[in-house]
Structure 1
Amino acid sequence: MAYTDKLKSTRVAIMMGNGASPEVFAPMCGITTKGFQQTRATNDTVDWDCADPDATPITVRDVGATDWTISGSGLLHRPLLAQVQEAFDSADATNYRFMFDEPTGNEVIDGYYQGPGIITDLNITGTNGEYVQISITISAAGAKTFVANP
C-alpha cells in the first residue's frame, strides 16, 4: 500500500514582507485557516466547420488572464494589527508568501508562492466571552512565483 505524503496545516503560513532589501518575511501569527487560490480566465471562440456549416461547432479556448488570492482567518494577534492596517491603508502593494515548511527527519521540505498583493478585505470581529477574530483577503497586484526547495 502507498499512502499520501501529507503536509500538516500547522506547517503552512501566510507571511508578510517588510519591504526591506533584502526583504524579510514574517508569519502572520494567529491565522489558523489559510488558503491560496489561483484562477485563470479564458477567451472562448466558437469555430464553425467550413466544409459542413450544419455540423456542430467547436469551442476554441485560449488562456486569458491569471489571478491569485491568499485568504486567512483566526485569532487577532495584537502586534499584527498595526502591520495589517498599514498594509490595508497603503496605496502600494506588499509582498506576501504562502509558505509550506515541514521538517521530515533531518531535512525540511518547503516551498512557497510569492507575489505582490493588496489587502482587499479585512474583517475584525469580537463576541463577548470569546477572543477577537480576524479574517483577511489578499488579492494579486502582479505575477506570483512558486519556489520549491527540496
Structure 2
Amino acid sequence: MAQPSTARFGKFRVLLGDDATPIVYSAPCGFTSKSLTLTKDLTEVNLPDCADPDAVAWIGRDASSLSASISGEGVAAAESIETWLEAWENVESVPVKIEIEFPSPAKTITWTGLMHVSSLNPSAEQGGRVTLSVEMQSDGELVRVVA
C-alpha cells in the first residue's frame, strides 16, 4: 500500500495583497486553523419520466454560480491585527492568494482574486489570550493555477 502525499499546516497559506503594482502578498501571523470552502450554487428542475408520467420525477441540477470563502482563527497577533482591521474597514475587496503546497510529487495549487473580509471577531476568556476569527467571501472569480 502506498501512502498518500499530503501537505502540512504551514504549506496551506492565506495571503493578503497590498495595493502596490505588482501586488505584494504576505501571510498575516496568528492562524492556528484555516479553511477554504469552494461552493457551487445549483438550480433545480424536475425531470419527468416521459414513458410513465405518474412516476416520481428525478431532480436535474444545473450550476448557476461559483463562490469561495476563507475562514481562519488563532491568536490575535500584534504583527497582523492592523492588517486585518484595514481589510475589514475597506469598502473595496482586497487581493488574496491562497496556496496549498504538496511535497511529492511537487505541486502547488494557487487561487488568486479579490475577497471581502466579512467578519472579524476578536475574543478572549479569562486566563487566556485574545484570539481572532476571520471570515472572507470572494468578490468575483478566483483564478486557480497548478504548478
Decide whether aligned partners of structure 1 residues 11 and 50 sit closer, same or farther in structure 2, where only a CA change above 3 A counts: closer
Q: TM-score, normalised by structure 2?
A: 0.90
Which residue of structure 1 aligns with residue 63 of structure 2?
63
Q: TM-score, normalised by structure 1?
A: 0.88
Which residue of structure 2 aligns with residue 17 of structure 1?
17
Unaligned 5+ segments in structure 1 are none
The aligned length equals 147
Query: How far has the Cα of 1:78 moved from its partner?
Result: 0.8
Decide whether aligned partners of structure 1 residues 112 and 91 sit closer, same or farther in structure 2, where only a CA change above 3 A counts: same
Give the Cα separation in 1 of the matches to 2:72 and 2:89.
Answer: 18
Give the Cα separation in 1 of the matches to 2:65 and 2:137.
Answer: 14
Which residue of structure 2 aligns with residue 3 of structure 1?
3
Decide whether aligned partners of structure 1 residues 103 and 52 sit closer, same or farther in structure 2, where only a CA change above 3 A counts: closer
What's the C-alpha RMSD, in Å, of the aligned pairs?
A: 1.9
Give the Cα separation in 2 of the matches to 1:101 and 1:42.
Answer: 30
Q: Which runs of 4+ in 1 moved over 6 A?
A: none
Amino acid at match of 2:113: G
Q: Percent identity over the alignment?
A: 24
- Give the secondary structure class of the aligned counterpart of 1:79: coil
Give the Cα separation in 2 of the matches to 1:65 and 1:34.
Answer: 24
| Equivalent residues of 2:5, 2:103 under 8 A apart | no
Give the Cα separation in 1 of the matches to 2:8 and 2:52.
Answer: 55
